[in-house]
Amino acid sequence: MPSSTARSPRTPPQHCLPPHSRTVGCAPAAVSDFRRTDPVPHTPAEHEPLLSDEDFAGDGRHAEGPDTDGFDAPRRRGVGASERSTPPQPQGPAQTDRVIISAAEEIGIGGSDALIAIDDVTGELTAYALAAISEQSDATVLSWASSYAVASGLRQRFAEQVDSGLLRVPSGPQAVSLEDAVSEVGDHVVALMRLPKALHALEHRVRSLAAPIGAREQSSLRVVAGGRVKHMSRNQNDVLATVFSEVRASRGIGKSRALIGSVLRERPAGPSVAEGSSQVAVRGQQRPVSLRATGAVFGGARADAGSRLLLQTLDQAVAAGELATEEEPVTTAVDLGCGNGLLSAYLAAALPESAVLGSDDDTDAVLSTRATLAANGLDREDVQVTWDDAISQLQDRSVDLVLLNPPFHDGTAIDATLVQGLLDAASRVLRPGGQLWFVHNSHLRFRTEVERRVGPVRQRARDRRFTVLSAQRA
C-alpha cells in the first residue's frame, strides 16, 4: 500500500446510482465555515526557487517528533475505506493544510474562477476554498477525491453547498477521472493538494490538471502541494518542473512546507497509462493478459505474486469442474478491490456466461480495470466496473463467487484489520453455498477469522509469501 490515511468514524452506506447505470458526472457540492486558527510562526525559510539539500538534512527547523498532522493521501486500493477515510468533523486545519492555505493566500487567488481541492481527507482545503470564493458569484469549487468513501464524506459535510451548485464532488458509481472533472471548470485555476509520496502519483495528478487547462487559450493554472518536510525531496520539484516553468517552495509551518508550481509550459502532455502483460491459465490453457494502470493503482501494470497464486489455484478448481458447473453455475462473480483488473479479466475470460463485477473504492483502480478489460476485448455488456465502498450497492445474497486480494498495509506497516470490513462485505453478498476465494500474507493467520465471518474454510495453496483460502457461505 503506497500511502496511509487517518482513521475516522464509519459512514453509512451511500445510495448512489445502481451498478448498471452509465451516468458519469460530478454532483454539484459545499462547506462549513472556514475558521483560521491562531497562526503558528513561520520557520525562518526564504523563498528559494527549489528546496535545498539542507531542507532534507534535519537542520533543527524540522526536528523529528510526534506527527501531530495525522493525515496523508488516501490509500491506494482503498476498498472498505468507509472505516477510515471519511473526513472527520471540522476540527480546524491540520499543519499541512495550514501551510497549503498559507501558500495559497501568499500567491493570491484573486482572478481565479475555479479552486480545486484534491484528495482532501480532512475537508479543510475544501472549506477554505469555499470561504475564499464566497464573494465571487462566478467562481466554483471542485473537490475531487480518488476515494469513494472520502468523496461521500465530503458530500455529506458540504451538502448545502453541493445542493446550491457552489461545490462539485464526484459521485458514483462510474468514477470520474481528475482530467475529466477539471475539463468542466473555469480557465483560471488554483489547485490545492497534499503531496503524494509516490512520484508517479504526483506526476499523474499534475498532468491531469495541466492537460485540459493548458489546451485552452488565455488560461492559467497554479498548484500548491504541501507535505511533511521529512517526506519531501527535490525529485518532487523535478516532477512539477515538467509541467510548470516556475517552481518554488513556500515558507514552512512547523514540520510542513508547500511547493508552488505556476506558469504552465506550452501544451503540457496529459497523464499516461502504464502498460504491461502477464501469462494466465484460463481453464487450463495459458493465455496472455494485457494489463493497464492509471495513476497510483496498486500493483501498477504488473501481476502481483498474490494474485498469480490465487488465479493459479482457482483455475485448477475451474478446470477440474469444481466450480462453474452445469449443475451449479456461477451466474454472478465479483472482484472485490479490483486494482489493475487482472482478476476481473480472468473472471470475464474463464466465465463467459457469467455476469462479472469489478469494484473498488479508488478511482485509479476503477479506470485501470476498465482499461484492462478493454485491452483484452472483455468489456462486454455483462461485465461491469463500479466505484463503490466495499460493494455497498450490491444486494444481499446475490453473488455466487467473490475474489479478494485485499490491502494489508497502512503505509509501510502491516495492519491486518483492514480486511475485516471486506470479509463482512463478501459474506453479505454471497448466497448460501457461494464461495469466497481469498489470498493473504502467509505470516498472518486468517483462517479462523474467515470461518467466523463467512463459513467453512479450505486451504487451497500456500507458499512462503502467500496463502489462498476458499470459504463457502453458510
What value does the mean pLDDT take over residues 356-366?
97
What value does the mean pLDDT take over residues 31-48?
36
CB 341 within 8 A of CB 358: yes
Res. 24: pLDDT tops 80: no
Mark whether 202 and 53 lie in a shared domain. yes
Residue 416 to residue 413: CA distance in whole angstroms: 10
**Chain segment 263-297, per-residue pLDDT in tens:** 999 888 999 999 999 999 999 999 999 999 999 89
Mark whether 309 and 233 lie in a shared domain. no
Mark whether 153 and 254 lie in a shared domain. yes
| Helix (H) / strand (E) containing 308 | helix 305-319
Strand, coil or helix: 79: coil
Strand, coil or helix: 348: helix
> What would the DSSP string read from start to end of 82-117?
GGT-SPPSP----HHHHHHHHHHHHH--TT-SEEEE
Residue 157 to residue 152: CA distance in whole angstroms: 9
C-alpha cell of residue 41: 510562526
Res. 458: pLDDT tops 70: yes
Higher pLDDT, 337 or 324: 337
Res. 231: pLDDT tops 50: yes
User: Model confidence at 414, in pLDDT bands (50, 70, 90)?
Assistant: low
Res. 225: pLDDT tops 50: yes
> Residue 8 falls within a domain, yes or no?
no
Segment among 89-98, 109-118, 172-181 with least mean pLDDT: 89-98
**In which residue are the cell numbers 496529459 written?**
270
The fraction of the chain above a pLDDT of 70, given in percent, is 78
Query: Can you give the pLDDT at residue 20?
Result: 35
Res. 379: pLDDT tops 70: yes
Name the DSSP letter for residue 292. E
What value does the mean pLDDT take over residues 219-240?
96
Strand, coil or helix: 244: strand
Res. 13: pLDDT tops 80: no
What value does the mean pLDDT take over residues 55-73?
37
Name the DSSP letter for residue 381. T
N-to-C CA span, the chain? 32
CB 174 within 8 A of CB 23: yes
> What is the average pLDDT score of the chain?
83
User: Model confidence at 90, in pLDDT bands (50, 70, 90)?
Assistant: low
Helix/strand/coil percentages in the chain, nearest 5: 30, 25, 45
> Residue 13 falls within a domain, yes or no?
no
Residue 235 to residue 310: CA distance in whole angstroms: 36
Q: Domain count of the chain?
A: 2
Query: Can you give the pLDDT at residue 411?
Result: 52
Q: Look at the chain and count its residues.
A: 474
Mark whether 287 and 236 lie in a shared domain. no
> What would the DSSP string read from start to end of 416-469?
GGGGHHHHHHHHHHEEEEEEEEEEEETTS--HHHHHHHT--EEEEEE-SSEEEE
Could you list the residue range(s) of the whole structural domain that residue 391 is in? 273-472
C-alpha cell of residue 102: 498559507
What value does the mean pLDDT take over residues 48-53?
43
Residue 203 to residue 223: CA distance in whole angstroms: 12
What value does the mean pLDDT take over residues 457-473?
97
Out of 242, 264, 286, a domain closes at 264
Segment among 35-39, 136-140, 420-424 with least mean pLDDT: 35-39
Helical spans, DSSP H, in 144-289: 148-157, 159-164, 178-182, 199-214, 234-241
What value does the mean pLDDT take over residues 352-359?
97
One-letter amino acid for residue 34 of the chain: F
Mark whether 316 and 464 lie in a shared domain. yes
Beta-sheet pairing, 466-472 with 430-441: antiparallel
Strand, coil or helix: 336: strand
CB 101 within 8 A of CB 125: yes
Mark whether 170 and 291 lie in a shared domain. no
Residue 184 to residue 70: CA distance in whole angstroms: 32
User: Model confidence at 328, in pLDDT bands (50, 70, 90)?
Assistant: confident
Query: Can you give the pLDDT at residue 53?
Result: 38
Out of 236, 264, 292, a domain closes at 264
Mark whether 85 and 107 lie in a shared domain. yes
Res. 170: pLDDT tops 50: yes
User: Model confidence at 430, in pLDDT bands (50, 70, 90)?
Assistant: very high
Mark whether 254 and 348 lie in a shared domain. no
Res. 73: pLDDT tops 80: no
C-alpha cell of residue 212: 485540459
The fraction of the chain above a pLDDT of 90, given in percent, is 70
What value does the mean pLDDT take over residues 119-139?
92
User: Model confidence at 350, in pLDDT bands (50, 70, 90)?
Assistant: very high
User: Model confidence at 387, in pLDDT bands (50, 70, 90)?
Assistant: very high
> What would the DSSP string read from start to end of 120-184?
-SSSHHHHHHHHHTTT-TT-EEEEE-SBHHHHHHHHHHTHHHHHHTSEEEEESSS---HHHHHTT
Mark whether 347 and 378 lie in a shared domain. yes
Segment among 73-77, 141-145, 319-323 with least mean pLDDT: 73-77
Mark whether 388 and 281 lie in a shared domain. yes
Mark whether 279 and 347 lie in a shared domain. yes
Out of 212, 230, 264, a domain closes at 264
Mark whether 120 and 222 lie in a shared domain. yes
**Chain segment 95-117, per-residue pLDDT in tens:** 999 999 999 999 998 789 999 99
Query: Can you give the pLDDT at residue 251?
Result: 93
